[in-house]
Amino acid sequence: MTTILEVNGLHKEYHKQRTWIDRLFKRKGSSLYAVDDVSFSLQEGETLGLVGESGCGKSTLSRAIMRLYEPTGGTIRFLGEDITSYEQRKMRHMRKNMQMVFQDPYSSLNPRMTVKEMLAETIRFHQICQNDKELNEYIDYLLVRVGLNANDASRYPKAFSGGQRQRLCIARAISVKPKLLIADEPVSALDVSVQAHILNLLEDLKKEFQLSLIFISHDLSVVKYISDRVAVMYLGRIVEIGNSNEIFENPVHPYTQALLSAVPRFDVDQGKREKIALEGDPPSPYEKHTGCPFYSRCPKRMNICESMAPSFYATGATHLIRCHLAAEVGYQ
């Protein structure tokens, strides 16, 4: 398989400016560590699910990959090119191959532009069509392909429901025929029945347009349905990554086990999964942790976890876990 995206040691920090109170008491400015040393790769035609609690850095990571947020450190290689330091003009043209669908479809659409004007703006910028006739036919095709009508092209976003608006956002994203699509919680604001239609649409489009997909969600059932591999994030770090079946059937990291224990299981053959309640709240992202950031909440913590950050250990060919427990049971 061809590696389409490779992220190595990615960091994103937000520096808080010193206030007059800080200066009065001679306090230093603080930094928020939103993404902390994240590394992973994505293969051509693969779907990677990204899960974790709210505030763990999933959305920040996706925007850093798109270069909507400037990374503080690390590298991003896309289609074999290091795009980490691309200037904005060059990056805008690179986004023909990498597109994003956001959580709130209404805020992603210009309320003063018709559907045709919005789609045409993107298609013309990336020079997808040669003339107006071809453009009109292509817009009609896109609308029908995402489950809308061709005559919807003359309508404004306010005339559509939430699910229909998300279909418009997907149509705009695939209009430039990208290689990579990042979907940041695209169904979390939709009804369950609408969610199923959007997920099936993404699956169909992935096959038709040969897309690679990063799917971000806090709904683990949705992630299991659509993902080939799953990466679990906690406080800006990936703590476990592997094949979807491996993660859901045999989670190793205590945080992953706690997340999955809260997912209802309706298959009686699977047996009951003991619910794991995590104590306390996640530590402050303004603190740089020398040890494991999950230490204060981990039910299986050891002394080494407080002072030393764990490395990745392989539990299989594609299953990696960032936990000292893996070393204890003999993983390499």
Return the C-alpha torsion angle 205, 208, 213, 215, nearest 10: 20
Q: Which pLDDT score is estimated for 301?
A: 87
170, part of any domain: no
Give the residue numbers spanning the domain of 226.
Answer: 3-97+178-328
Q: Is residue 149 part of a domain?
A: no
Separation of alpha carbons 252 and 138, rounded Å: 47
Residue 254 included in any domain: yes
Q: In CATH, what number is assigned to the domain containing residue 232?
A: 3.40.50.300
For the cut 90, the answer to whether the pLDDT of residue 136 exceeds it is yes
104 within a domain of the structure (yes/no)? no
| Cβ atoms of residues 65 and 182 within 8 Å | yes
* The amino acid at 71: P
Q: Model confidence over 178-217: pLDDT tens digits? A: 999 999 999 887 888 888 899 999 999 999 989 999 999 9
Give the total number of structural domains in the chain.
1
Confidence of residue 331 (pLDDT cuts 50, 70, 90): low
Q: Which helix (H) or strand (E) holds 33?
A: strand 31-43
- At 33 the pLDDT is 87
In a domain, 152, yes or no: no
Residue 269 has pLDDT above 60, yes or no: no
Is the per-residue pLDDT at 173 higher than 70? yes
Tell me what pLDDT residue 270 has: 54
Name the least confident of 94-98, 164-168, 237-241, 266-270: 266-270
Helix, strand, coil shares of the chain, percent, nearest 5, are 35, 20, 45
Residue 128 lies in a domain: no
Reply yes or no on whether the pLDDT at 37 is more than 70: yes
pLDDT at 233: 95
Residue 139 CA to residue 203 CA, distance in Å, equals: 21
